[in-house]
Structure 1
Amino acid sequence: MPAAARILSPASVIEAKENGIEDDDDAFDWWKQWYPVALTRDIDGAVPTKVMLLGRDLVLWREGTAADAKKGAVRTWRCFVDRCPHRLAPLSEGRIDTRTGHLQCAYHGWEFSGSGQCSKIPQTDPETDQEEAGALRSRRACATSLPTLEAQGMIWVWPDTSKEGVEASKAVKPTLMKDVDEKEMSYLVVCRDMPYGFDTLLENGIDPSHLPFAHHNIISNRNQAAYIDTQVDKIWKGGFDSNQFYPKRGRKPSLPPISVSEQNFLTKDKRADAHRMAACTSELSERFPDRPIAPPTVRVPQSLHFRPPTLLYQVINVTAILDKIPFLPKRERLIRIVTYAVPVAPGRSRVIYRFLRNYFLPPFSWMRWPPEWIQHQRILRVLDSDTVFLHGQERERALLSPSAAADVDRCYFMPTAADGSVRALRKWLARFGGPRWLVPDLSSLPPTPDRRTLLDRYESHTKSCKICRGALRNLKRLRQLIGFMSVMAFYLGLLGQSVYTRLAGGFFTVLGITGSVVIKRFEERFYFQPWDHGRN
């Protein structure tokens, strides 16, 4: 942990029972948890890849050789602390030995099997095996291996490397989505590194009232700002559930049927609570008939579920809407929005968004429209429009005293019901967070970069995203091809004997130049796109 980290005691906040928090003496153990650190498709198994989790540098690699894969052997993902036991060099700068399938340190050639056991020391005396055998058996020669698994397209890591922690990892399951068939449901996944902490990322993900303003003309509009009735269930060690209703004036809000999949995910029956909250929002409409409650198009409540350490989960049942389409078969249709907020280090986090649906899916991935890389650009634009706010907000909170930072009602002034989920999250962190660096002081946060670096897309996403990296490469090739054809068209028009040939050459030259400029602008979006709320 950073030296400047602070310990927040539950005694520094208001008593749990007075805040609707279920009493629990055990603090949440952040080290004995599974964390998704990367998308499987984005990691090249042929080379080691550096990642960071909870302030610790790690290296991901895939054990085994290409020959093993051809024989049907399963190549297993492994995760080590990014440090060679020999001279402490980063193992992420190493390579996978093509003969043994082990991780080789590129500094002195030491090799390690998937368990972390040292399998080769090239510098030992070739005349005797005794020296090498003794060194290989030493615990000091072993790399530090972390429990690792692959599930739902993500690589999960368990950061506790103690003997008790490794045993505990076998009994704990990662926070996976239940009843989700990857081939049937998943249609968009995106991952990006963010320049603020994961708690700030979570807070932003459960805040509905910022959407019309921070994301004006992207996914919402300022004119859609409205009263939001937020109801939060009891806060317990396993998280909390909240419902955010947009009641319609003059009409009792009608709720869509809760899906079987959602009922399986939730820890209690939400249907009774949903109808109770529907009555509550109807009463609010009657008490405040002149107050703008919500746009007339809003009908479906937003239900949010926080499951520590990283998961935010939302289900939208659109069955009632799509059943009105003629000739469309009647069946349950769902949209699920899943957010994993991964704690990388103080002031740094990684977000993994999964947008799922079980309708209107093309039979082949290449038939999707718009292409996935274009959808990634849209999501990056949404994240860009939040980044400056969240980066600055986190630093202002770090200036507060530990007690003020831990007490959400001293830290923030939130007089409306719309901030109910944010209050619930901060109370959960204060009550169950225990010793942590989630609220560091300013000295432990990385320095604030310039605006271009803050909104950088290449290092935070494109460089590590297989989809966007491939799209950028193809756009560059297309621009080069169009440039070559423009030159050919120019010379064709210059050397043409007839007027029509010259006109055609000139036309295609201008067309090629225009196409190159347009493609160049698309390429720039993979690196950086300026954002100014004052001009939006």
Structure 2
Amino acid sequence: MEFLDEWQVHKNSKACVASYPSVVQNSILWFYPRTEPEHSDVLRRKRPPYFPDLDDPSFVTVYGVRDFLLGYDVLVENLMDPAHVPYAHKGLMRIRKKEDPGRYVPHLLWHDQILFLQFCTTNDHLLSTVEFDKEGGGPIKMMIEEANIEGFRSPQERGYFKFVAPCTFYGSPLRTETEDDEGKKKKKQPTVMLVFLCIPVAPGRSRLVWAFPRNVGVWLDKIIPRWYYHIGQNSILDSDIYLLHIEERNFAAVGLDNWEKACYVPTSSDNMIISFRNWFRKYCKHQVGWATPMVNQLPPTPTKDQLMERYWSHVMQCTSCSAALKWMRSLEVALQVASVAVVGFLAVAKETLVTSVVQRAAVVAAAVLCFAASRWLANFIEKNFYFQDYVHAHK
């Protein structure tokens, strides 16, 4: 073992922690993973994307994060595709049927915020009745403008979306970008916004950070905890994951240079997907520039419960969900103990305190209710904090 004087330890590289350029913006910690001196001022030269609504006190924002066994490119592509919502998320939203069997109008519950936000991307048939298929899919008009190395934007009839290369995708289904730029005068209008940060982690792995600011239903944020929103948001993500896993393997089979051979993209709603794939091909050559050399191949195929598990990919990283899980586990144990204690009380007191049939029936009912509640809670915990399968054929 080597012994060094204190002054030598302080100067020894083994005792030093690397310092990375970092900044907190929109309540998100950003850092640049390079320690060389020439990168020390990188965040002064180029700041991360900034979203005024996230810092606006008249807005409330639901943040979230989740890791995926999916590549960065497949994750970004999925977020850019509004047309898949009625099909991939079938059964997670309610669609009310009109008198004409070929005409539908979406009907969403007030508390289904994530469903509302994602379904809004299908534009005018959210607010009017148009031709739909039986799943609820309808026509979507979408344009692409200013496509270059910096990304592109997509103005739509009732909103807009913008890709800021390489990781940021954001927009609003209810207002135009011009309205966003006009300042406080327009911010009083009902507004919801979707912000997605898509982070490549490794080949076949990615992380999604999302933020949904809104200035409508602000009071709901005072009574609905963040973990409740995350349950609905994770259900939406779960219904995507297995389909995206298959898509990614199909792309790998034909090669990303030939990705069009693995899918069919004939409609205007595919414009953002095509634009992103063109950007990824032209400026990235269909691959992420990893900091350390690695073979750009997919990891072994995981099982479905590994693909869709929630605990390690989200719950353990989320303070709200992890606290809710801890509290519910404690409540589950308390209910089980209570059911046993009530039965024990009945056995001890049946000849003294509990003398009538009605009293004994009430005590037994209390024990059964406590046990049933503990079983229901255990099932709720498993489905919402660990794993819940989603089979499209059963929806």
Q: For the superposition of Structure 1 and Structure 2, which TM-score range results when normalised by the shorter chain?
A: 0.7 to 0.9
Match of 1:101 in 2: none
Q: How does 1:361-440 map to 2 (within 5 A)?
A: 361-362=218-219, 367-369=222-224, 371-401=225-255, 405-406=256-257, 409=260, 412-433=263-284, 436-437=287-288
Match of 1:230 in 2: 142
| Counterpart amino acid of residue 391 in structure 1 | H
Find the residue that maps to 2:83 and give its secondary structure: coil
| Counterpart amino acid of residue 487 in structure 1 | V
Match of 1:338 in 2: 195
Q: Distance in 2 between matches of 1:461 and 1:518?
A: 22
Match of 1:533 in 2: 392
> Per-residue deviation at 1:179?
4.6
How many residues align? The count is 339
> Per-residue deviation at 1:359?
2.5
Q: Of residues 36, 53, 62 in structure 2, which corresponds to 1:188?
A: 62
Superposition TM-score, scaled by structure 2 size: 0.78
Match of 1:48 in 2: none
> Per-residue deviation at 1:393?
1.2
Deviation digits for residues 485-521 of structure 1 (CA, Å, limit 9, x no counterpart): 2223223444222222201101111111111111111
Greater Rg over alpha carbons, structure: 1
In structure 1, the gaps of 5 or more residues are: 1-107, 109-122, 246-300, 320-329
Q: How does 1:465-480 map to 2 (within 5 A)?
A: 465-480=318-333
2:70·2:204 contact (CA, 8 Å) conserved in 1?
A: yes
Find the residue that maps to 1:193 and give its secondary structure: strand
Q: Distance in 2 between matches of 1:361 and 1:448?
A: 42
> Per-residue deviation at 1:389?
1.1
> Per-residue deviation at 1:183?
4.3
> Per-residue deviation at 1:462?
1.0
C-alpha distance 219-356 of structure 1, shift in aligned 2 (>3 A): farther
C-alpha distance 507-318 of structure 1, shift in aligned 2 (>3 A): farther
C-alpha distance 462-182 of structure 1, shift in aligned 2 (>3 A): farther
Match of 2:173 in 1: 316
Q: Distance in 2 between matches of 1:209 and 1:398?
A: 23
Find the residue that maps to 1:335 and give its secondary structure: coil
Find the residue that maps to 2:162 and give its secondary structure: strand
Does residue 445 of structure 1 match 2:260?
A: no
In structure 2, the gaps of 5 or more residues are: 96-133, 177-186
1:490·1:506 contact (CA, 8 Å) conserved in 2?
A: yes
1:191·1:350 contact (CA, 8 Å) conserved in 2?
A: yes
Q: Distance in 2 between matches of 1:368 and 1:183?
A: 18
Find the residue that maps to 1:231 and give its secondary structure: coil
Q: Distance in 2 between matches of 1:532 and 1:435?
A: 31
Match of 1:39 in 2: none
Match of 1:506 in 2: 364
Superposition TM-score, scaled by structure 1 size: 0.58
Larger helix percent = 2
Match of 2:86 in 1: 212
% identical equivalent positions: 29
2:159·2:174 contact (CA, 8 Å) conserved in 1?
A: no
> Per-residue deviation at 1:174?
0.5
1:211·1:219 contact (CA, 8 Å) conserved in 2?
A: no
Q: Distance in 2 between matches of 1:443 and 1:409?
A: 20
| Counterpart amino acid of residue 30 in structure 2 | W
More displaced 10-residue stretch of structure 1: 144-153 or 456-465: 144-153
Does residue 150 of structure 1 match 2:17?
A: no
Deviation digits for residues 145-174 of structure 1 (CA, Å, limit 9, x no counterpart): 321222222111212333323333331101
